[in-house]
């Protein structure tokens, strides 16, 4: 089992080290690096929360994962979707709640008329559920594959399967 206290302490120490270097050398390069390092560490931690929920499937961890999914989308400023691997893992493990949560967040983003998506992001939006659907079929999680196939009409002109 993961020792979350030890992991959190290690992450906090890494972040403090980056901040200390930035404070001591206030160059634009260090400020930019510090911001990127901090965002990367937070993203890794949030993805870790989601992965724990996928494997554990308890209501407590599921609630934390849903918050992490929303926070990740806010952090990415809707420019990228860091969910392909966890979406696929959730489909593999048969965790429909996580699949539905990620799907619903992506669905809200896709329907946001204020956001303009480039072709690469549109392809990501199409490929994530397609790959998740194929994975769910491979692992015989038909409830997930049916859900994705039935609910992805706004993104695909044809059924996923």
Asked whether residue 156 is assigned to any structural domain, the reply reads no
* Number of structural domains found in the chain: 1
Q: In degrees rounded to 5, what are phi and psi of residue 100?
A: -65, -40
Closest CA to 73 of 121, 37, 32, 120: 121
What share of residues in the chain are helix, strand, coil (percent, to 5)? 75, 0, 25
- Domain presence at residue 142: yes
Mean pLDDT taken over the chain = 77
Confidence of residue 119 (pLDDT cuts 50, 70, 90): low
The DSSP-derived string for 72-131 is HHHHTTTS--TTHHHHHHHHHHT-HHHHHHHHHHHHHHHH-TT----HHHHHHHHHHHHH
pLDDT at 84 over 90: no
In a domain, 159, yes or no: no
- Where in the sequence is the domain holding 14, given as residue range(s)? 4-151
73 falls within a domain: yes
Longest dimension (CA), the chain: 56
Residue 158 lies in a domain: no
Secondary element (H or E) of residue 138: helix 119-138
Neighbours of 92 (CB within 10 A): 16
* Residue 106, C-beta contacts closer than 8 angstroms, at least 6 positions apart: 81, 83, 125, 128
**For residue range 51-74, what is the model confidence (pLDDT) as tens digits?**
999 998 788 998 999 889 888 877
């Amino acid at each position: 089992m993961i020792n979350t206290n030890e992991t959190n302490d290690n992450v906090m120490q890494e972040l403090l080290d980056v901040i200390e270097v930035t404070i001591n050398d206030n160059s634009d390069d260090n400020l930019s690096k510090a911001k990127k390092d901090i965002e990367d560490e937070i993203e890794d931690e949030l993805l870790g929360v989601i992965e724990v929920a996928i494997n554990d499937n308890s209501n407590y961890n599921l609630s934390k994962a849903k918050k992490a999914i929303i926070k990740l989308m806010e952090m990415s400023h809707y420019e990228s979707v860091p969910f392909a691997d966890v979406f696929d893992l959730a489909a593999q493990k048969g965790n429909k709640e996580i699949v539905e949560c990620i799907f619903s967040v992506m669905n809200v983003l896709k329907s946001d008329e204020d956001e303009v998506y480039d072709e690469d992001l549109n392809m990501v939006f199409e490929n994530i559920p397609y790959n998740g659907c194929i994975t769910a079929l491979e692992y015989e999680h038909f409830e997930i594959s049916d859900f994705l196939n039935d609910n992805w009409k706004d993104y695909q002109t044809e059924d996923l399967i």
